[in-house]
Amino acid sequence: MLAETASGAFWEAVRDVRMLAGRGEQLWRLSVAPADGAAVVARLAERGVPIAGRLYDWAGGLVWLAVGAGRHASAIREGLAGHATCIRAPDAVRAAEAVFHPQPPALAALSRRVKESFDPKRVLNPGRMGEGL
């Protein structure tokens, strides 16, 4: 059992995925079927995605990836049965690639309508939750 202070520090490190700190320049969060996690990471490595570290959670359904320099969103998302979100990356990478996994057209239209109904003047985090939102 951890003391309260140590417990707080431990869970803060888990929340911030500090186990992968200093590995790679990007941090990606992939949500996939639990049985697919290891195979997804293996396929990414075969495609040349420079994986500097990985952490599996949710029985393999949540994969945290530390990825090396470059633009890798297309390679990471191509054929992925799930979704991938870029959590941390240099500003140049974040400006050049979508941070959030692209939504299917019908879901994107629904998201846009919901956002417009709650924020018709588009003052709340413009562009932060997806392109054009």
Per-residue pLDDT reduced to its tens digit, 79-101 = 899 999 999 999 999 888 888 88
Give yes or no: residues 92 and 42 share one domain: yes
Three-state secondary-structure class, residue 64:
strand
Q: Is residue 131 one of the residues assigned to a domain?
A: yes
Quote the tokens at residue 59.
């029985």
97 and 107 housed in the same domain: no
CATH number at 90 reads: 3.30.70
The verdict on 60 and 89 lying in the same domain is yes
Q: Are residues 36 and 83 in the same domain?
A: yes
62 and 86 belong to one structural domain? yes
Q: By residue range, what is the domain housing residue 85?
A: 14-101
Collapsing DSSP states into helix, strand and coil, what is residue 83?
A: strand
Q: Among positive and negative, which fits the CA dihedral 113, 119, 123, 124?
A: negative
Element (H, E) at 20: none
Task: Assign residue 82 a region (left: φ > 0; alpha: ψ between -120 and 50; beta: otherwise).
Answer: left
**pLDDT tens, residue by residue, 3-45:** 888 888 888 888 888 888 888 899 999 999 999 999 999 999 9
Domain membership of residue 21 (yes or no) is: yes
| 21, 85: one domain | yes
Nearest to 27 by CA among 61, 47, 55: 55
Number of structural domains (the chain) is 2
Q: Is residue 8 part of a domain?
A: no
Q: Is 6 part of a structural domain of the chain?
A: no
28 and 88 share a domain?
yes
Residue 57 dihedral angles phi and psi, to the nearest 5°: -135, 175
Q: Verify that 66 and 91 share a domain, yes or no.
A: yes
What was the pLDDT predicted at 131? 66
Band (pLDDT 50/70/90 cuts) for residue 132 is low
